Amino acid sequence: MHSVCPKQTTLKAPVSIKGIGVHSALSATLELFPLAANMGIIFERTDLKNNNQIIANITNVVDTSFSTTLGNSHGVTLSTVEHLMAALSACQISNVLVKVSGPEMPIMDGSATAFVDLINTVGIVEQNAPRKIIRILKPLEIKEERRWVRLEPADTFSFKLSVDFGGREGLQPEDHVYDFSTESFTTDISQARSFGFYEDAQKLYAAGLAKGSSLDNAVVIKEGAVMNEDGLRYENEMVRHKILDAMGDFYLTGSLIQGRCVGFNIGHEFNNRLMRNLLADKTTYELVDLAKRPAEEKEVPKKAEAIVAFTSPSKSFFQPLSTTAL
């Protein structure tokens, strides 16, 4: 079972890893460094000398067409941040400096496994500052013809997502429920890879895109069959990857969320729009200081019910941190 550390955390020591960018196919080095409390998550392009930092923030998302791309006011961008962000969210890392040697994060195997493993090689450390979470107060929804998403109040942080390929190549719809407080990110979500259709990949290659994309970092579907030699990692790997992406995109708020996300056919653009709408309407959420909660419980008896629900043994969403449960 997961629990959320009431204090902010960072890495115990720097770590690094190498891979290739999925669009450029260029080699990319990723380095993670501990950062002081209240600094948040900061990306830095080491191939550039000036204006090379980009703060991980919902409002700094400048493109969501193939992946989530961050950018700063000087036009410096970094793409495909969502899988690392998902790992940072699952590992509850509040403050970290992320240095990348080019315009794209390394794609690794298309999942978040390498990033979770990287973080676990050094571990995390509690900092002397309280963690704030976003607690959803009332439902928030975005609806379009073929896709919709709703964020609603709940005791924990959970997802219930569905994808429907509209019968393309005979693929069946998939759905999955994941509760961060009771299920393992490493076992249930982290290993789910990016996916795509062979037919679409050919068009991207022809347009000079997705040059680094291959069976090494994506599940590829051709004529309704999985091309990857070892098959799928989960029967519903694609919808699980949608949950992974959403976790990463949501963590660009800088906070874990107490709420349930229910969605159909969502992607990066929807994830970003949902978070922007959430933060733009202060009646939809409150920032809860986890370290202050016991005191609030005494002072404001009316709120105690929600607090107890969030901390009761069966839903011990925030308790002393246990990284082994990840």
Beta carbon of residue 110, minimum distance to Zn ion (angstroms, whole number): 7
Using the minimum distance from each CB to Zn ion, give the nearer residue, 194 or 258: 194
- How is 168-184 classified by DSSP, letter by letter? GGGPPPEEEEEETTTS-
Q: Which residue's entry shows tokens 């948040």?
A: 40
**Contacting range for Zn ion; rule: CB under 5 A; set: 131-139, 238-246, 285-293, 299-307:** 238-246
Q: How far apart are CA 187 and CA 135, in angstroms?
A: 26
Beta carbon of residue 82, minimum distance to Zn ion (angstroms, whole number): 5
Q: Is 176 labeled as catalytic in the residue annotation?
A: no
Which 3 state secondary structure label does DSSP give 244?
helix
Site track 183-212 with Zn ion (rule: CB under 5 A), x = hit: -----------x------------------
**Residue 174 engages Zn ion in binding (rule: CB under 5 A):** no
**Residue 245 engages Zn ion in binding (rule: CB under 5 A):** yes
Task: Please give the structure tokens belonging to residue 284.
Answer: 């939809």
Question: 149-161 in b/e burial notation, b at 16+ Cβ within 10 A?
Answer: bbbebbbbbbbbb
**Contacting range for Zn ion; rule: CB under 5 A; set: 177-185, 242-250, 280-288, 290-298:** 242-250
Using the minimum distance from each CB to Zn ion, give the nearer residue, 35 or 219: 219
Dihedral-angle region of residue 44 (phi above 0 means left; psi in -120 to 50 means alpha; beta otherwise): beta
Q: Tell me which residue has its CB nearest to Zn ion.
A: 245
Q: How far apart are CA 138 and CA 146, in angstroms?
A: 24
Question: 252-285 in b/e burial notation, b at 16+ Cβ within 10 A?
Answer: bbebbbbbbbbbbbbbbebbbbbbeebbeeeebb
Using the minimum distance from each CB to Zn ion, give the nearer residue, 133 or 218: 218
Using the minimum distance from each CB to Zn ion, give the nearer residue, 95 or 113: 113
Size of the site for Zn ion (CB under 5 A): 2
**Residues acting as catalytic residues:** 268
Residues that bind Zn ion (CB under 5 A): 194, 245
